[in-house]
Structures are given as structure tokens and as C-alpha cells.
Amino acid sequence: MNSLLKFRRPLSSSLTSLSLQRLSTTLHYVFEEKKEGTSFIHPTAIVHPNAVIGQGVSVGPLCTIGPSAKLGNGCQMHPSSHIFGNTELGSHCVLMTGAVVGDELPGHTVIGCNNIIGHYAVVGIKCQDMKYKLGDECFLDVGDNNEIREFTSIHRSSKSRDRTVIGDNNLIMGSCHIAHDCKIGNNNIFANTTLLAGHVIVEDYVHTGGATVVHQFCYIGSFSFIGGGSVVSQDVPKYMMVSGDRAELRGLNFEGLRRCGFQVTEVLD
């Protein structure tokens, strides 16, 4: 028994050392471009030869890049992230583990620069709308500097004449859903499990509480706040605060306006 234990200890130590070495190798690819400025593609990744890869791109283990994909300079794909269809990523985008961007559909998914696509988020896939006809073009356009967190889903448009649009500098927290043909402005914060149905328009500097649900075709005005757990079935005016099921007007969004730099005199006027 003692001899068996003596044998197992060095074996366990060797396996631990090997595991740490593999982990170090796996993590190393993320920082490779910072040292050399050249692209790094892990040998287990599947990259179609027709894909366009910029400089300083890092592609991790078990990633997939389709034939029509374009990756800008400095993009990072963490293990098991995937890019499909006619999809373009601007420079310095990051796809976390399990993220899926794009779909094998007519149309395109265009992601701007400096965006983070979180763990297991699904961005730019077919919409969940019965109006959509297979073979129709559908589109998603995303701006710059957005953080799209884990398990979020963002769908393409339902018709070729429309598109789903997300602007710049938005924080979209975990498990949110943005449906087909939505138009999202800039500098918005959507708390976890905010759900936007089709054709919703959200202007700028809007803040939603967690588990907010917005009915299709609703309009959410700039600088408004929606309380957590609200069900919004009507338009929300600019500068206002609403909450409840169904959401009701609760007054001016004083705190939100203050944080955005409005002076007291401006608000009172």
C-alpha cells in the first residue's frame, strides 16, 4: 500500500503540472498579439480560408470562423466562441467563451469596434417572428463600445426592408433579450433579464431595472427610468420614471437627470 501511495503521488504531481501547463498555453493566446502584433490561431480552431482576419487577432481553442466572416485588428475570441454567416467585427472586439455571433442567413451582422460579447451570448441570429420568411435578408447593426453580457440574445430584423440597430456605449446586462427590428440608441443601461419585444424603440440614456418587460412597438424616451419588474405596454415619455404591472407614471426621473448632468434649475423649468 505504501509503495502504491508513493507511486500515486508523483503521478498526481505530474498530472497537475501538465494541467497547469495546458492552462497556461490556453490563456497565453489572449495576450499574444500584445507582444508581437501578429495574429494567433489555436490549432484546434476551425477557420475557413476565405475568412478575413486582421492583425493582432487571437483565436482560442475550439473556435469557429465561417467563410464570410471579417475580423478587425486586435479582436479576441475566447475558447469555444463562434462567428457564422456574413458577419463583420470591428477592431478590438472580444468574444467570451461560448459566444455566438452571426447566422447562416441572407443579410448581415455588423458589429462595430471595442464591443464585448459575453459568455454564451447569441447575437445576430434569426428572429422569433412568424412574419419572417426563410430566405429573406435580415440585418443587425451594432455600434461601438457596447458591453453585451452573458446569455443575452439579440436577433436580426424580420424583413429585408428593416433592421435591428444598437447604438454606442450601451451596457446590456446578463440574460437580456432584444428582439427583431428594435432600435436602441446610445448610453443605455439594461439591467439583467430586461426583455424587449419586436420593434421597440429606446432612445438615449435610458435605464431599466431588472426583469423589465417591454411590449412590442413601444417607445421609450431619453433619460427615462423603468423600475424593476415592470411590464411596459405603453410609450414612456422622456425624462419620466415608470414602474408597475402595468407600468404607471411615477414622476420625473430626478436622480437619473442629476447623474446625467442636468442642473436643478433645468429640471424645475
Q: Residue 22 corresponds to which amino acid? A: R
Structure-block grid coordinates of residue 29: 493566446
The residue with cell 450601451 is 170
| Neighbour-count burial for 148-164, b at 16+ CB within 10 Å, e otherwise | bbbbbbbbbbbbeebbb
Is the Cβ–Cβ distance between 104 and 129 less than 8 Å? no
Work out the average pLDDT over 134-160: 97
Work out the average pLDDT over 132-142: 95
* Rounded CA separation 212/220 (Å): 12
Q: What are phi and psi of 196, to 5 degrees?
A: -110, 120
Verify whether residue 181 is a known catalytic residue: yes
Question: Which residue of the set 198, 199, 227, 256 is catalytic?
Answer: 198
Verify whether residue 37 is a known catalytic residue: no
* Rounded CA separation 103/133 (Å): 15
Residue 240 has a CB neighbour count (10 Å cut-off) of 18
For residue 111, give every residue at least 6 positions away whose Cβ sits within 8 Å of its Cβ, in sequence order, or none: 87, 88, 89, 90, 93, 101, 117, 123, 124, 142
Question: Which residue of the set 143, 181, 185, 227 is catalytic?
Answer: 181
Structure-block grid coordinates of residue 101: 455571433
Q: Is the pLDDT of residue 18 over 90?
A: no
Give this prediction's pTM. 0.86
Question: Which residue of the set 78, 108, 155, 180 is catalytic?
Answer: 180
User: 150-187, pLDDT tens digit by residue?
Assistant: 999 999 999 999 999 999 999 999 999 999 999 999 99
Structure-block grid coordinates of residue 164: 435591428
Q: What are the structural domains, with CATH classification, of the chain? A: 40-267 (2.160.10.10)
Q: What are phi and psi of 139, to 5 degrees?
A: -140, 150
Q: What is the pLDDT of residue 35?
A: 54
Verify whether residue 180 is a known catalytic residue: yes
